[in-house]
A and B are shown apart, each in its own frame.
Chain A
Amino acid sequence: MPGLTRRQVLSLTGRLLSLGTISSVFASKIVWAQTNDAAIDVRHLAMLIHDLYPHDEMGDPFYTKLAQLVKPRLEGSEGAYAEFVAQLDARTGGVWQSLDPSKRSEILADLADQPFFAKLRDTVRQVVYVQPEVWALIGYGGNALAQGGYINRGFNDIDWLEETR
């Protein structure tokens, strides 16, 4: 299906995101175009990514890796990012980073209807769910050809249907 990979391509070709996020992309360009100089702190971004897509089994190194992959996709939006982070801090007296995750999410939820939040949420999602580590966690087999196909690897091994009869 198109979803994720399609959008990756779209952003590659500079046409950016889909549907609901189109207006937000334009809006972000207009508002933040001038304040484009702040660099994105990977540690901070990793934390945001964790809160957007919290998988308890995945450790910090994984979220750091994700942040490194997401960062280049936010190129051009550094200003917007900085502004977003500033708002998180403003709401927590500058200690957002040191709060515990559930508290952080609450603050994040307050900003969820901001255009940049949508961009961040979608950009990150397109990265998270194509990572082999996540696939392994949620039980997706990935490259089947490399394993000789699923023909001898459980494509029809379902064993619980009997119980539903």
Chain B
Amino acid sequence: MSETRFSLDDDSVAVVIGSGAGGGTLSNQLASQGINVVCLEAGRRLTPTDIVNDEAAMFPKITWLDEVIGEGDARPDFPIWVCKTVGGTTMHWTAAAPRLQAHELRARSTYGAIEGTSLADWPIELKELEPYYARAEALMGVTGTNGIPMLPGSNNFKVLEAGGRKIGYKDIDTNTMAINPVPRDGRGGCLQLGFCTSGCATQAKWCTLYTEIRDAEKTAHFELRPESMATRILHEGDRVTAVQYMDVEGKLREQKARFVCVAANAPGTARLLLNSKSERFPEGLANSSGQVGRNYMRHMLAAVVAIMPGEVHLYKGPQVAGVIRDETRHDPKRGFSGGFQMHIVGLSPGSLADLMLQGKWGREFTDVLGQYKNFASVMIMGEDMPTAENRITLHPERKDQYGMPVPVVRYVNHPNNRVMLQYGRDVCRRLYQSLGATQLFDLYDVFPATHNMGTARMGEDPTLSVTNPWGQTHDIPNLFVSDGSLFPTVGCENPTITIVSLVLRQAEYIQQQMQRGSI
């Protein structure tokens, strides 16, 4: 922890809201360039010894449990799965770090108009992102890049690989993962614990708590304020001036700011902008386009669990280190647009008991769970379509403990998802059957959204997007969005390395703008 402190009325500081993938990375980038940063983080700061191999103990320590309401196909009680802790959801994440593909950044041009969607092309091409992806891979220590070896394959991976090859797939490996196979960056190597979603005790997994925040704190330009919940961003004319937040003691404070970057994870970012409405911006801050909160995307997410003829012990090893990429292409012949990844997923008996056999009991239940050692499991993660009606809004009456309106997440599957799901499920079944699987189970519509994107999309046209291609809001030049809210579309890759790449690019842009005196 660092000693650096800034005063509330210091209006030369940058205020970053959120300390996860976006906020943690941006804070470090700015601070290491000598820009003073105050980072407001709603959650607590954990110490390394708080991280234990116990799902039940870790869940309440790190998960966002304040009320969020789901509607449509979103789980009503738990629509989104995000963290409330220093490090944000990089505490929970499983660290798969694949790049988006060129055609996915041109979804509207590639897929054409699809009914019911608000598909758009990204305002930047893959070429422009590539150098930042390369930097992000070095920063996060991604396997298979920068001389970092691939992770060794676990049993669950070997089953996926063998079955995949049998049914004709070729692009299969242990995935580009932000997990140290061997010690690096002052952090340990992976011990194949399999508790990635409970926080990584060896710190082999990239998490901003002990990477970006750690490094920012080595500069004299960074102050982290945990347990500080931003409730409103204040503005005068078309400039933001301060952020109002509730501190550890429950007192409302105002931190003045030269500029503000919001990285509260897509639903949180939309919520904060909507709640910062004013006379000038009656529909929410920086929302003259009406797009804040809209085009909310997650991914098409399902899993298949197979009972194999021999032991697998799918819980051993990093939970998602293994992927088949053959279906990530766009190929309308399959009957849907966009593609999907197939990656392994290791799940505990507790989770599977809840997710896999809903409504079952008695022998019917125990005969299946009793074969847990023989389970193999794969996840299907596909491109999701943006629609105007999938969106984050504020509940008209319900307030949380900070006095902030409770967010409502409305999400309905686009028909494209259903066709893709059927196709993906069938190939996964064939894959395991080719190795003699005796029973197969589908898990869909059971997962809360782990990837949340699109709620403040970037673009060239201020009437159709919230920010410009650098995440600077069209309406307010000293207000930035610094997380997955920016994604116009999501491809079928896990989002975090793209968030980090966009933020690295944004940090350069901010410096240029400061040098020019425009912010």
Contact = CB atoms under 8 A, between A and B. Distances in A.
A19 B446 CA distance: 10
Given A4-B354, A55-B370, A128-B353, A160 B309 contact: yes
B24 to A, nearest CB: 23
Interface stretch (A30-38, A68-76, A86-94, A148-156): A148-156
A145 B81 CA distance: 25
A141 B154 CA distance: 15
Given A4-B354, A129-B350, A151 B59 contact: no
B53 A9 contact: no
Contacts of B152: 155-156
Given A158-B159, A161-B162, A7 B354 contact: yes
**Interface SS of chain B:** loop
A121 interface: yes
Given A22-B76, A155-B317, A160-B310, A140 B194 contact: no
A126 interface: yes
Contact of A149 (B193, B313, B373): B193
Contacts of A121: 361
A1 interface: yes
Nearest to B312: A158
B192 A5 contact: no
Interface in B313-334: 313, 315-317
B448 to A, nearest CB: 6
A108 B361 CA distance: 11
A31 to B, nearest CB: 22
B238 interface: no
B360 to A, nearest CB: 9
Interface stretch (A10-18, A39-47, A77-85): A10-18
Contacts of B373: 138-140
A3 B311 contact: no
Contacts of B60: 5, 9, 12
Contacts of A95: none
Interface string B181-200: 00000000011111101000
Contact of B59 (A9, A139, A165): A9
A52 B361 contact: yes
Nearest to A112: B361
B227 to A, nearest CB: 18
Interface residues of B, number: 67
Given A5-B56, A156-B152, A129 B194 contact: no
A72 to B, nearest CB: 15
B377 to A, nearest CB: 11
Contacts of A134: 349
B108 interface: no
B353 A51 contact: no
B191 A164 contact: no
Contact of B192 (A129, A143, A150): A150
Contact of B350 (A3, A9, A146): A3
A13 B436 CA distance: 44
B78 A18 contact: yes
A158 B350 CA distance: 23
B365 to A, nearest CB: 6
A5 B59 contact: yes
B349 A51 contact: no
Interface string B45-74: 000000011111001100101010000000
A142 B53 contact: yes
A7 B55 CA distance: 12
A54 to B, nearest CB: 6
Interface in B340-367: 347-355, 358-359, 361-363, 365-366
B155 interface: yes
Contacts of A12: 60
B447 interface: yes
B195 A144 contact: yes
B77 interface: yes
A156 B77 contact: no
B217 to A, nearest CB: 26
Most buried by B among A1, A126, A128: A1
A159 interface: yes
Contacts of B191: 144-145, 148-151
Contacts of A9: 59-60, 63, 65
A159 B310 contact: yes
Given A1-B347, A140-B348, A155 B353 contact: no
A61 interface: no
A125 B192 CA distance: 28
Nearest to A144: B193
B155 A155 contact: yes
A156 B53 contact: no
Contacts of B218: none
A157 interface: yes
Given A4-B354, A19-B77, A52-B362, 17 more contacts: A1-B352, A1-B354, A3-B350, A18-B76, A109-B362, A121-B361, A141-B315, A143-B52, A143-B53, A150-B194, A150-B316, A150-B317, A151-B192, A155-B154, A156-B153, A157-B155, A158-B159
10 contacts: A1-B352, A3-B446, A5-B351, A6-B78, A53-B366, A54-B366, A125-B353, A138-B371, A139-B313, A155-B152
